[in-house]
Amino acid sequence: MSTTIKGYVHSIETLGAVDGPGLRFVVFLQGCPLRCKFCHNPDTWRFDGGEEYTVEEMVRKILRYRTYIASGGVTISGGEPLRQAQFVLSLTKALHEEGIHVAIDTSGIYNEGTALTAAMEADLLLLDIKSFDREKAEKLTGFTTDHAWALLEERQKKNKPVWIRHVMVPGITLVDKNEDGSPISSLEEWESANSEMVDGMRRLNNYSCIERVDLLPFHKMGEFKYEELHFPYELKDTKEPTDEVVEWAENALKKYFLR
């Protein structure tokens, strides 16, 4: 294990339950080139800052929780973790030596060289598809999703597990009203209005490596951070999707994603 490779850590969650299977130790790394309008951690965007750890220091910290995370493992998230690809790769290998399951939560924006090696070393990839329409993704994040699909192709070639994550933002990635402004009132109306998402669900069937697809409702829990950082929050007037709309999306997923 290298003691010289260092990573810059934004924060740590010792018992995470939503970042992969089982209970997990979650390491959030500092720095991200994307500017997702729905991001609830804009304080991770800066490339500088964060607490410095060597791989050895981080492994020691993680091993203190080994008993608690036995059902899960470690998830390396961000920010965008693959920006610090050498640290992620070295940490993943060190954790594998300890028999610990490793997941990486990424947008796929870095998918070549050491970043690709790190992504392929992970036992599980949590891959964010920002929008199933590449132009909308660019308006939403600053980048298309071409990089995400390219990384998914690499995982498919090796048959290595992937969980897809997609945030449903009303008015952007999710349509919850008819063209006349009236609320959508049935699954059929939802499917017609959200044809891009339905097409995306169908496209995911081409990848046998995908074990799970999570449709994540947009929320505003990070809004206060934008105020603290003096960043404009463009989704201030966007409402969180209703339970009914979320249920229609999940029913459509069961219908069109055939696993």
Question: Which residue's structure tokens are 């009236």?
Answer: 182
**Mean per-residue pLDDT for 143-147?**
96
Question: Which pLDDT score, from 0 to 100, does residue 183 have?
Answer: 86
pLDDT band, very low/low/confident/very high, at 2 (cuts 50, 70, 90): low
User: What's the pTM?
Assistant: 0.94
- Residue % of the chain over a pLDDT of 90: 92
Tens of pLDDT along 78-114? 999 999 999 999 999 999 999 999 999 999 999 999 9
Question: Which pLDDT score, from 0 to 100, does residue 3 have?
Answer: 59
Domains in the chain: ranges and CATH: 6-170+209-227 (3.20.20.70)
pLDDT band, very low/low/confident/very high, at 179 (cuts 50, 70, 90): confident
**Measured distance CA(23)–CA(17) in Å, rounded:** 5
Res 1 pLDDT > 90: no
In the chain, the N- to C-terminal Cα span, in Å, equals: 39
pLDDT band, very low/low/confident/very high, at 4 (cuts 50, 70, 90): confident
Tens of pLDDT along 211-247? 999 999 999 989 999 999 999 999 999 999 999 999 9
What are the residues whose beta carbons fall under 8 Å from the beta carbon of 206, sequence distance 6 or more? none
Question: Which pLDDT score, from 0 to 100, does residue 172 have?
Answer: 92
